[in-house]
Amino acid sequence: MPTELAEILPKGRNTVIVNIVDRTHGGAIDASGDLYVPDSGNNQVVKVTSGGAQSTVVTGLNAPFGVTVDTAGTLYVGWWLRITI
């Protein structure tokens, strides 16, 4: 089942920014403003650029549930029964 992530503005307007993920669990934003979203249902991590372009950056994971990006731009992903750092 697809999940939508939306940007909710203070005045209540919202814009869907990701609608291709299945069971997401949070996300991380890098220094460039790009969003990384763990897509647990599809075993991948999706990147959404600040311009709105979507791409898959990591595949073959077992239900990723957490991501973070450090100041150097390195992406860290945790997934079920395994944590990679």
24-75 residue pLDDT tens: 777 898 999 888 988 888 898 989 887 778 899 999 988 888 899 999 999 9
Question: How much of the chain is helix, strand and coil, in % rounded to 5?
Answer: 5, 60, 40
| 14 token code pair | 């919202």
56 vs 22: CA distance, rounded Å: 13
Would the pTM of this model clear 0.85, i.e. be above it? no
DSSP letter (8 states) at residue 60? S
Query: What structural domains and CATH numbers belong to the chain?
Result: 23-84 (2.40.10.500)
Q: What pLDDT was estimated at residue 3?
A: 59
Three-state DSSP state, 21: strand
In degrees, to the nearest 5, what angle opens at C-alpha 14 toward C-alphas 75 and 73? 15
